[in-house]
Amino acid sequence: MADANPKLFKGDGISENATDFLNAMRRRNLLSPSWKDVEKLEFFELCKKLMQWPEKMAEKEKGVRVENDGIQEWDHVCWALKVAELGARIDAAGSLISLALKNIPGSLLLRLGSKRGTWPELVQAMKDVPTAELTVVRHNEMRMAEMEARIAQLQQTPSRALAVSFANMAMSSPARNDPAAPVGCAPFCPDSERLRIIQATSAMIHPCTAAGLVAYVLQITVYNQKHSAQAGKPNEDRPYPLTPGTVNVTLGECHVCGMMGHFGTRCNAAENLKCPALETRWRQIAQSICSQAERKANPTTAINIVADGSDADVRECDVFFDTADYDQAVIEDYLRHEGKGSGPSI
């Protein structure tokens, strides 16, 4: 049962506990026989309202004009007027202002003046916020959010669905003996020509700015529209767009993050800084073509052994030897001197 008369709380007693006193007061108020059920329900509703006060201002509400009692006003100013009207009724000193400011966007809080200790000062500080800056900030934040959602959608390539389809295929299906149809083969292209195509048709790398990210998203959109069937196989004829701020292909760069100074096996870049999977694959393909072209352009030079013509033992031999002839000459010379004083004997 509730305490009919809770003990007075003085604050300096050894056995006193402020929490116990407050709980006793709540039990007395809520469970007092003098309270009707309607009053108890109203009290509970007010408690729930207190937990939800003040209402949180959404990011999209700042920098927008709305109608308030027939007058066009900025949304953040309307929010301040509503909060100040309710807060002043229970807290004229303004001690709840710090609690109310936790529910506004950070970009708006940074632009509030320092003089906001009372409710009227808070309303005036909201009115003094430069609305032109809020409009620009709101527009940029909406563009960045839309861009991030678009990039995440574009990085979901059709190859994943294709892999699931192959995984669900039955491995025990009977083999078919239908005659194979002729398959067209692509014409042979040497690696040096493929490298020249890569260097000539490499996609432009945009700077890591807001405008560069927009252009990058457009590049990916065009690529997926043109090469939807072969999206998982970039090559020199369809180079994959490169992430803004990275270096070009065939430079010995890291295939994971697209930067210089390390290899992919030692890349410690964060997940949000790594290149998409198709871009990593394209960088690997381009580097492989470059390595093959350089290897064929600089073949290993054969080494010839030159004999001294003054040596009587090798005058009958040609001046130039390859490795096989030289080995044969050594064996013959060994057999020719076998059993002599200067050579081995059995």
Same domain as 48, residue 67: no
Q: Which two tokens stand for residue 14?
A: 């050894």
pLDDT score at 3: 52
pLDDT score at 318: 46
Same domain as 310, residue 275: no
pLDDT score at 314: 47
3-state secondary structure of 305: strand
322 within some domain? yes
Same domain as 126, residue 46: no
Of the CA atoms within 13 Å of residue 321, those in its CB half-sphere come to 17
pLDDT score at 117: 78
310 within some domain? yes
Contact 29, 72 (CB under 8 A): no
Residue-wise pLDDT tens for the chain (346 aa)? 445 555 676 677 677 777 887 877 776 666 566 777 787 777 667 666 666 566 667 666 666 777 776 777 888 888 888 888 877 777 777 777 887 888 787 777 777 877 777 888 888 888 888 878 877 877 887 888 888 888 877 776 565 555 565 566 555 555 555 555 454 445 677 877 888 888 777 767 888 888 888 888 888 888 888 876 555 578 888 888 888 889 888 888 898 998 988 888 888 888 888 898 888 888 888 888 888 888 877 766 656 555 555 555 544 444 455 676 777 777 777 676 665 545 454 4
Of 134, 164, 199, the last residue of a domain is 134
Contact 79, 61 (CB under 8 A): yes
**Identity of the amino acid at 318:** D
346 within some domain? no
**Identity of the amino acid at 316:** E
Which range marks the domain in which residue 98 is found? 59-134
Q: Which two tokens stand for residue 242?
A: 């490169």
Of 87, 106, 134, the last residue of a domain is 134
Same domain as 284, residue 237: yes
Nearest to 206 by CA among 251, 247, 156, 239: 247
Same domain as 238, residue 325: no
Nearest to 162 by CA among 217, 226, 233: 233
Same domain as 280, residue 230: yes
pLDDT score at 254: 92
Same domain as 205, residue 293: yes
143 within some domain? no
Contact 61, 75 (CB under 8 A): yes
Give the number of other CB atoms < 10 A from CB of residue 254: 22
Same domain as 282, residue 203: yes
Any idea which residue has 């009707």 for tokens? 36
Same domain as 290, residue 196: yes
Give the number of other CB atoms < 10 A from CB of residue 134: 20
179 within some domain? no
146 within some domain? no
Nearest to 326 by CA among 314, 336, 335: 314
158 within some domain? no
180 within some domain? no
Same domain as 287, residue 213: yes
Angle (deg, nearest 10), helices 131-154 and 210-226:
30
Same domain as 284, residue 207: yes
Structural domain count, the chain? 4
Same domain as 242, residue 206: yes
